[in-house]
Structures are given as C-alpha cells and as structure tokens.
Amino acid sequence: MNILDIGIDIVEIGRIKEAINKNNRFLEKIFTENEIEYFKSNNFRVESIAGNFSAKEAISKSLGTGIRNFNFKDIEILRNEIGKPIVKTYNNLEKICIDYNVLEIKVSISHCKEYAVANAITIIKE
C-alpha cells in the first residue's frame, strides 16, 4: 500500500447554513439520499452537514484532482456503528478510483462552533 495524496479542507459553518437557507435544493445538489437521511437522523445539524461538505472537498484534494470529472454526489460519506466516517464512491469517481488503483479513502471530520474541517488520505495499491 502507498499513499496517493492527502487532502484537507475547512469551511465556515455559517456559509453552509446560508447556502441551505438560500437554496432549498442545496442538500439535493451536493449530498446523496443516504447522506440526507443521515442528516435527518441528526435533526439536520448544520455542523454535520458542513463536516460532510468539507470531507468531500478534502477527498477531491487527496485524489489530486479537485472536483473535476466527477460531482459531489459521486462521493458519499456515511458513518459506521460507532460514528466513524466511511467513504463510498460512485459513477465517474468510482472509475477514477479504479484507474488510480485506489484501495481505500480514509477521512476524519471535526468541527467547532464556527468551522468544520476534514482531512483525507487516499491509499492505493503498490
């Protein structure tokens, strides 16, 4: 195993809250149905939404591409039974991961009152 790259992102939680309030389709444009269900189960806590948004940006950086040739909904970030974020890829991003020989994308998410931050590591076959 090798590391392809790492990525980090930070976002103002207020900026995400504003985007949600301004555009009633924001969640549907950025997040999968499963992610929206997760947010719903957490009463749509904006810090969780911002954390997932930041994680998607960090993942795009850990691939070295940014959000190019795939869209936000090609990345899905859910939680396991103890709350650890789990990354799933779909569509064009899944194809990119196959081309890059990606074994796993690991992500960590945190937040405070004003910011959400995430880092990601893309692990590839040697």
Question: Which CATH number fits the domain that encloses residue 42?
Answer: 3.90.470.20
User: For residue 126, what pLDDT is reported?
Assistant: 76
Q: Which domain holds residue 118?
A: 2-124
Q: Is 99 annotated as a binding residue?
A: no
Asked if pLDDT for residue 1 goes beyond 90, the answer is: no
Secondary-structure breakdown of the chain: helix, strand, coil percentages, each rounded to the nearest 5: 40, 35, 25
Confirm if 70 and 92 have CB atoms less than 8 A apart: yes
Count structural domains, the chain: 1
Q: What pLDDT, in 10s, does the model give residues 61-109?
A: 999 888 888 999 999 999 999 999 999 999 999 999 999 999 999 999 9
**DSSP bridge pairs for 77:** 87
Dist CA 55 CA 39 (whole Å): 15
User: For residue 17, what pLDDT is reported?
Assistant: 97
53 — alpha (psi -120 to 50), left (phi > 0) or beta? alpha
pTM: 0.94
Q: Is 57 annotated as a binding residue?
A: yes
Asked if pLDDT for residue 48 goes beyond 90, the answer is: yes
Q: What pLDDT, in 10s, does the model give residues 9-43?
A: 999 999 999 999 999 899 999 999 999 999 999 99
